[in-house]
Chain A
């Protein structure tokens, strides 16, 4: 299953609302996770099952979608949110990630 994220990068300011889209090549129901990665660090799980917030993740992060159309939203961008975000499907046994979306200042 191919995962296509858009945009590949975006520039935003602190306080902005940011939306990232992920589209799988086939329906994956809600088997969709979102991760955040900062340079030199391991990825961190933000959202699982398309819309469930991982424990400890700020509520400004939210996820929606099902089937072939998913969205990660950051309601008010904070300085620590500048990072690269990846979607990942767990519908098929062979998982795949999107190519990533870099959120820059």
Chain B
């Protein structure tokens, strides 16, 4: 059974840092691109970042570029999101999600339960 379990969320002050983790199991983690998607309270989904299976390709949404860093450790079946210089508008539930990617399409077929990040003074 595919499982994605996020951890590391919490309450931080503006300007502080936080590192999210996502532990994957039930599939060959090293074969899949992985993503972070967030959802602010009462708002819609926002794609945040992606990393390819071997970390060759990394992308960010513009609002987090230069502040967030996505990474993965295939030996530990883990995905990470280092978040620096946090702002109030980064407050959200952060989901880890797997990209099922085929030769001609891609999408997010498995999601974690999410971890809440609250940025407030």
Contact = CB atoms under 8 A, between A and B. Distances in A.
Given A35-B45, A96-B47, A97-B44, A54 B111 contact: no
Contacts of B50: 93, 95
Interface in A43-87: 43-45, 48-49, 52, 54, 84, 86
A90 B105 contact: yes
Interface residues of B, number: 25
Interface string A18-35: 000000000000110101
Interface residues of A, number: 25
A16 to B, nearest CB: 23
Nearest to A101: B44
A49 B62 CA distance: 25
Interface of B: 35, 37, 44-47, 50, 57, 59-62, 95, 97, 100, 104-109, 111-114
